[in-house]
Amino acid sequence: MGSFTGFLYRQFTFKPKPLPTTVNLKGKTALVTGASGGLGLEACLELAAHGVSRIILGVRDPSKSDAAKPIQAKNPNVDVQVWQIEQESFASIKEFADRAAGLDRLDIVILNAGVKNVEYVKSSKGGHELNVQVNHLGTALLSLLLLGPLRRTGDATGTPARLTIVSSENHFWVKLKVIKGPDTLARMDDKETFGKDMDRYNLTKLLNVLWMRELSTRASRNVVINAVNPGFCRSGLHRSHSSGASFANMVGWTATQGGHALTDAATQHPQDHGAYISEQTLFSPSSFVLSKEGHSAQVKIWNETIELLTQEAPSSDLLSNL
């Protein structure tokens, strides 16, 4: 994994499969971010088809989301709730997580919200480079804040709850100069470190894997945490990248197939804590991730992220759920 030839081979020879018919999610509550369309919505549709009792859709603008209708068409008995979350805004993430903390149970979380910007833009709400703000910082904060309700559900049911972070095979294709240097997150706000085309997006997908691995070593063992590569799919992720959209139209999997990859990671592989899941099976992440340098970067990114979030998104719950 990691070569372009290998990527193309897998795109053409492997297609994600739906969950086995034996999967029964009755009584469970699932939460999916980035759920207004694309892979997130497709994952919700599949979870509903397998009997999930309640599903929470995290979307930027609930007034523009019609996602509840097709989900209820799959399962008329499912309680579909559409909650607002702005992944750029720490305040919005905190409000969303506070609401989730009031649930009686939370069994499955899929953190799917993300962006792919190929031009340098600073977030108007968070102040950091947009890919970093949404893909890493927003995801990291929400993962920390949702551990509490996930852990309580795992304790109450005797079955580990599930937290899946959506990453990408692109984490193999990273120029490592920025991440190997000091003050990585601060430097990623500098335009000169942005790189070309998908360099920054790729780097944030590496941050997802590093964050997931460190979080999994620190979090309660009754929450299974993993990262998933959903494959290269035709979706709205490419809306700001015309060449990426054109390439996806040629070789991409469907959003439904990408949704299968998400639900597989979030409901199967019960023993694969801290794992990187790709093609619906356990895969080794990049050689950098597995190296001593990669482990040092993993700890450094954790420390820098916690320091940044403590300063910019203060919350008494930030580390208490670990």
Instruction: For residue 168, tell me if it sits in a domain.
Output: yes
Residue matched to tokens 């639900």: 263
Burial of residue 63 (number of CB atoms within 10 Å: 0-12, 13-18, 19+): exposed
Burial of residue 83 (number of CB atoms within 10 Å: 0-12, 13-18, 19+): middle
Instruction: For residue 258, tell me if it sits in a domain.
Output: yes
122-181 pLDDT, tens digit per residue, is 999 999 999 999 999 999 999 999 999 999 999 999 999 999 999 999 999 998 888 888
231 has a pLDDT exceeding 90: yes
Which of 89, 201, 286, 300 is an active site residue? 201
241: confidence class by pLDDT, cuts 50, 70, 90: confident
pLDDT (0 to 100) of residue 244: 79
pLDDT (0 to 100) of residue 315: 79
The mean pLDDT of 49-65, rounded to a whole number, is 92
23-43 pLDDT, tens digit per residue, is 999 999 999 999 999 999 999
Instruction: For residue 41, tell me if it sits in a domain.
Output: yes
pLDDT (0 to 100) of residue 97: 96
Instruction: For residue 318, tell me if it sits in a domain.
Output: no
Q: Is 36 a catalytic residue?
A: no
Claim: this prediction has a pTM higher than 0.85: yes
Instruction: For residue 321, tell me if it sits in a domain.
Output: no
Instruction: For residue 300, tell me if it sits in a domain.
Output: yes
Phi then psi dihedrals of residue 124, to 5 deg: -75, -20
Instruction: For residue 319, tell me if it sits in a domain.
Output: no
CATH number, domain with residue 231: 3.40.50.720
Q: Is 201 a catalytic residue?
A: yes
| Rounded Cα distance, 133 and 90, in Å | 9
Q: Is 242 a catalytic residue?
A: no
85-101 pLDDT, tens digit per residue, is 999 999 999 999 999 99
64 has a pLDDT exceeding 80: no
Give the structural domain span for 81.
4-312
274-315 pLDDT, tens digit per residue, is 999 999 999 999 999 999 999 999 999 999 999 999 999 987
Question: Which of 35-44, 59-68, 156-165, 183-192 has the weakest average pLDDT?
Answer: 59-68
Question: Which of 73-77, 83-87, 220-224 has the weakest average pLDDT?
Answer: 220-224
Which of 28, 94, 205, 300 is an active site residue? 205
Q: How many CA atoms lie within 13 A of 14 on its CB side?
A: 18
> How many structural domains does the chain have?
1
Which of 36, 123, 168, 216 is an active site residue? 168
What is the percent of the chain where pLDDT is above 70? 99
Instruction: For residue 317, tell me if it sits in a domain.
Output: no
Closest Cα to residue 46, out of 227, 234, 262, 254? 262
